[in-house]
Amino acid sequence: MGLSAVTPLLVTLVAEGRLSAGDAAHASDVLRGLGGEPGLISWIDAGDAIDIAVTDVAAAAARAALEAALPAIDIIVQPADAPRRRLLLIADMDSTMIQCECIDELADYAGLKAEVAAVTEAAMRGELDFAAALDARVALLAGMDAAVIDQCRRERVRLMPGARALVQTMAAAGAHTLLVSGGFTAFTAPVAAEIGFAEQRANTLLISDGRLTGAVARPIVDAATKRAELLAAAAAHAMPLSATLAVGDGANDIPMLEAAGLGIAYHAKPKASAAADAAVRIGDLTVLLRAQGYRRADWAVAG
């Protein structure tokens, strides 16, 4: 979301176990160099995360300068007057809440991982139409035994570090949590349950006689759907968009990242990173807890 140059900002620096007062001083100097006026500096957890209040500087300029000056530290810049602890989390799954792209791993069982992964990468970079790329990749899986889906999930799907801590901590604090993926319900349903999401949305792989047909049920979950799910969830829970948090890594996440009160790109493709309010470049998903001011003692489960 766009922020004016006069909006008071809150800058959070995160580097678990590696952050020093010197880093905060360096960040303050960078902000002063932009014409900003750093104010209160307060530790969230000593050595892990710290907040710096600042005025008279634009959010985009502050983020760019701080990321360049502190390349080993995650930087979250947000309006100081926004709700700190967000009331809605909407998250992508593949390469965000889990460590793989499920369709690529499925394709590996058919000996097609390299071919499918190349298309996935191009789609996530925003170089291909998402729906067309999805159809093309799924078509290559036609005839695969549906039992391979569960095998793939057991053998290949691993949660992203910090996923359970993020979702369960926010849920314990009263937030609604929603997993929305351009992937498949055969993966999102068990992943959502394992992490602790309240709801999940994804595409459905069509199966006939125990084998994949090579098609996906319509309508598909695409970039527009993700944004619509964010807006619908906020409306259903009567919360302002300023109280929402979105996280994702690919081009199909951009509309929801832009619509959220705080959109965070997670180890993301360049277009998604540029479109988001902030980017996690170094740490895990618990950086999103630090962005909301959560101390480690507040986490529902370990990171």
> For residue range 121-172, what is the model confidence (pLDDT) as tens digits?
999 999 999 999 999 999 999 999 999 999 999 999 999 999 999 999 999 9
For residues 212 and 63, give the distance between their C-alpha atoms in angstroms, rounded to a whole number.
45
Mean model confidence pLDDT for the chain: 96
The reply to whether 25 falls in a domain is: yes
How many other C-beta atoms are found inside a 10 Å radius of the C-beta of residue 145? 12
Task: Give me the number of domains the chain comprises.
Answer: 1
At 245-264, the pLDDT tens digits run 999 999 999 999 999 999 99
Are the CB atoms for 195 and 167 separated by under 8 Å? Answer: yes
Tokens of 123: 């789609």
Query: In sequence order, which ranges of 180-242 are alpha helices (DSSP H)?
Result: 185-195, 223-236
Catalytic annotation present for 129: no
pLDDT band at residue 2, thresholds of 50, 70 and 90? very low
What is the residue range of 18's domain? Answer: 1-81
Catalytic member of 51, 74, 94, 108: 94
Q: Is residue 257 part of a domain?
A: no
Residue 49: strand pairing partners: 14, 45
C-alpha to C-alpha distance for 78 and 10, rounded to whole angstroms? 5
Catalytic residue among 48, 51, 74, 92: 92
Write the CATH number for 1: 3.30.70.260
61 domain-assigned:
yes
Q: Give dist(CA 285, CA 283) in Å, integer.
A: 7
- Taking CA 189 as the corner, what is the angle to CA 188 and CA 195, rounded to the nearest 5 degrees? 80
- pLDDT value at residue 14: 98
Residue of 22, 78, 15 whose CA lies nearest to 48: 15
The residues, ordered by sequence, that sit 6+ positions from 267 with a Cβ below 8 Å of its Cβ are 95, 249, 280, 281
- pLDDT reported for residue 302: 86
Judge whether 43 lies within some domain: yes
Q: Following CA atoms 79, 243, 289, 61 in sequence, which dihedral angle do they give, to the nearest 10 degrees?
A: -20
In a domain, 303, yes or no: no
In a domain, 38, yes or no: yes
Q: SS3 of 298, please?
A: helix
Q: Is residue 13 part of a domain?
A: yes
CA separation for the pair 246, 285 (Å, rounded): 12
CB atoms within 10 A of CB 220: 17
Is residue 30 situated within a structural domain?
Answer: yes
**Confidence check: pLDDT of 6 > 90:** no
Predicted TM-score (pTM) of this structure:
0.96
> Which of 44, 20, 18, 39 lies closest to 28, judged by CA?
39
Asked about 94 being catalytic, the answer comes back as yes
Instruction: Report the pLDDT averaged over residues 55-84.
Output: 97
Strand order in the sheet with 262-266: 37-45, 49-55, 9-14, 74-79, 278-280, 262-266, 244-248, 88-91, 176-184, 199-203
Arithmetic mean of pLDDT, 276-299: 98
User: Whole-angstrom Cα distance, residue 66 to residue 75?
Assistant: 7
The share of the chain scoring above pLDDT 90, in percent, equals: 97
How much is the average pLDDT of 220-227? 97
Q: Give me the pLDDT at residue 303, please.
A: 79
Task: Give yes or no for residue 186 having a pLDDT over 90.
Answer: yes
Q: Strands 278-280 and 262-266, how do they pair? A: parallel
